[in-house]
Amino acid sequence: MEKPKNSPSRAKKQAPESTEDLATVLSRTVVGQPAATRLIVPYIQMFQAGLAPEGRPVGVFLLLGPTGTGKTKTVEALAEILHGSEKNVLKVDCGEFQMEHEVAKLIGAPPGYLGHRETQPMLTQQKLTAVTSDKCNLSLVLFDEIEKAAPSMTRLLLGVLDKAQLRLGDNTTVNFEKSMVFLTSNLGSREMLREMNPEFGFQSAQHSERADLIGKLQSIGLVAVRKRFSPEFVNRIDCIITYQPLSQEALAAILEHQIADLQSHVNTRLGDRSFTLEIPPEARQFLLEKGTSAEYGARELNRTIHRFLTQPLATMVATNQVSAGAKVRVDVADPPEKLSIRALEPEVVPAAAHPTVLLVDDNRDLLHFLERLMGDAGWTLFTAESATEARRLALLHKPNAALLDYMLPDGNGVELGVEFLQAVPQMLVIVMTGTILPPEEEALCEEHNFPVLRKPFLASDVVNQIRGRLAAAGGGRG
Ligand SMILES: Nc1ncnc2c1ncn2[C@@H]1O[C@H](COP(=O)(O)OP(=O)(O)OP(=O)(O)O)[C@@H](O)[C@H]1O
Ligand SMILES: [Mg+2]
């Protein structure tokens, strides 16, 4: 039942996405369900190679297993990988087709019925095409909760699975040869849950016990399926995949995904008002413990994240408690019943308001003039008339900025600046010169992004240079 059938080509030849990639990406998104990846990917590969069999869908999969273990997620993840959006799935909720007469919604009413032109069938060729993309012409079709479907719907499905054809009310046919059909069902879930026996703890089960349990869940699923569906129906399914209860590691990985998704959601939705979440391991552990449930799988984790993190955050944003660029720190509250969420205001860089500046020039008049000017602005100043003295002061005070004359009695300002950067990498170095710099010095300035002030310059120029550059370096927050 697991082996793809080989037969002649029919799919449009596509730039084949490496299967390796597909499997890797899929198993990264759908965590802890290796069987799903291993069984589904070869069918896609076959389609992409143009080798999928004719006269039937590309693959028919029945996904079983407890709630919140990734059945629907698998189909959405495939849509995202193949088409670029998880919405590119034609989804039929079988719960809506429990009564015989409701099947008309699926295929449209036959002509002659009043209002048949107004009933838009759910499954048309157009709708199948609408969920494909430029990247890939494979339609993913999902029949959710198949066990709820009325018998007449199961009969219709039989034709789809068998011949890849569905006859609509108006007598036209829909072709499913370029479709992959997923059926999901909770058949057997209750028995599976009982088997998992949370008392003993699936989470802590040994490897061999776990393998044993997986086998048991599989046979529970099969028995339930055979009881509910006719042998013809079951025989037309390529793979029956039983999803496993999620282990602690899998849940931890899903939590990481959800947090990353939340952050990127904040970034895209809030744009320049966005903030950065800081969630230390203890807070993650808190969410994991609260969100672990054998009964509801990752659904419980998602609810927990929503309740303890997303909702309180939304309230803070809506009431303007988080400013743009802030860090939002999430800690376990005391007592540890919830999370404490605090917005830390963006740091003000004091350097930008009152920088420390080293002035180096052997022109004593200029030096004192600058010293007075900057001192009036409230800046802290150190002055040196030689490279040697400048070196000592730079190492001692690690100033925010250094204003260096190019020609010094014992060295040159450009090379001195490069030297300073090695000791204090974030230092702003500005070079002053009364002459044209030699090309190699010019190149050094460019390489290290040193502004060059040509003498004579306006006093306001130098003050503004330092202010502007330091503010920019502080992220404009100063
Ligand atoms: N294996 C998994 N890997 C990653 N995320 C998962 C996994 N299982 C569940 N989730 C998360 O839980 C949510 C619910 O999962 P999903 O809809 O796939 O459950 P399901 O198995 O289809 O359950 P149900 O039987 O109730 O339909 C997903 O949107 C996803 O966020
Ligand atoms: Mg589902």
All structural domains of the chain with their residue ranges = 19-245, 249-344, 350-473
Torsion, Cα of 416, 418, 421, 427 (10° steps): 70
350-473: CATH class: alpha beta
Q: Could you tell which of 29, 31, 72 is best to mutate to test the pocket of ligand 1, judged by most ligand atoms within 8 Å of the CB?
A: 72
Q: Comparing 249-344 with 350-473, is the CATH topology the same?
A: no
- Helices of type H across 229-349: 231-235, 248-270, 281-290, 298-305, 311-318
Q: Could you say which ligand is closest to the alpha carbon of residue 76?
A: 1
pTM, two decimals, is: 0.69
Does 290 sit in the ligand 1 pocket, CB within 6 Å?
Answer: no
The answer to whether the beta carbons of residues 66 and 297 sit under 8 Å apart is: yes
pLDDT at 117: 57
Q: Could you say which ligand is closest to the alpha carbon of residue 259?
A: 1
Does 31 sit in the ligand 1 pocket, CB within 6 Å?
Answer: yes
The answer to whether the beta carbons of residues 394 and 423 sit under 8 Å apart is: yes
pLDDT at 391: 94
Return the closest-CA partner of residue 184 out of 295, 85, 67: 67
Token pair of 190 as six digits = 């209750």
Does 64 sit in the ligand 1 pocket, CB within 6 Å?
Answer: no
Atom of ligand 1 lying closest to residue 189 CA: 25
Residue whose CA is at the smallest distance from ligand 1 atom 25? 67
- In angstroms, what is the span from residue 61 Cα to ligand 2's centroid? 14
pLDDT at 342: 93
pLDDT at 110: 67
- In angstroms, what is the span from residue 408 Cα to ligand 1's centroid? 69
Q: Does domain 19-245 have CATH number 3.30.830.10?
A: no
Residue pLDDT tens, the chain, 478 long: 444 444 444 444 444 445 558 899 999 999 999 999 999 999 999 999 999 989 999 999 999 999 999 999 999 999 999 999 999 999 999 988 888 778 878 888 766 665 555 667 889 999 999 999 999 999 999 999 999 998 888 888 999 999 999 998 888 899 999 999 999 999 998 888 888 765 444 555 566 777 888 889 899 999 999 999 999 999 999 999 999 889 999 999 999 999 999 999 998 888 778 899 999 999 999 999 999 988 899 999 999 999 999 999 999 998 988 888 889 999 999 888 999 999 987 654 444 567 899 999 999 988 888 888 888 888 899 999 999 999 999 999 999 999 999 999 999 999 999 999 988 888 999 999 988 899 999 999 999 989 898 888 777 778 877 887 777 666 443 3
Q: Could you tell which of 31, 73, 146, 296 is best to mutate to test the pocket of ligand 1, judged by most ligand atoms within 8 Å of the CB?
A: 73
- Distance (Å, whole) CA 150 – CA 95: 9
pLDDT at 344: 87
pLDDT at 102: 80
Backbone angles phi, psi at 367, to 5 degrees: -55, -45
Return the closest-CA partner of residue 243 out of 181, 290, 159, 187: 187
pLDDT at 404: 96
User: Which residue is it, tokens 């999969």?
Assistant: 61
Domain 249-344: give its CATH architecture. Answer: Orthogonal Bundle (1.10)
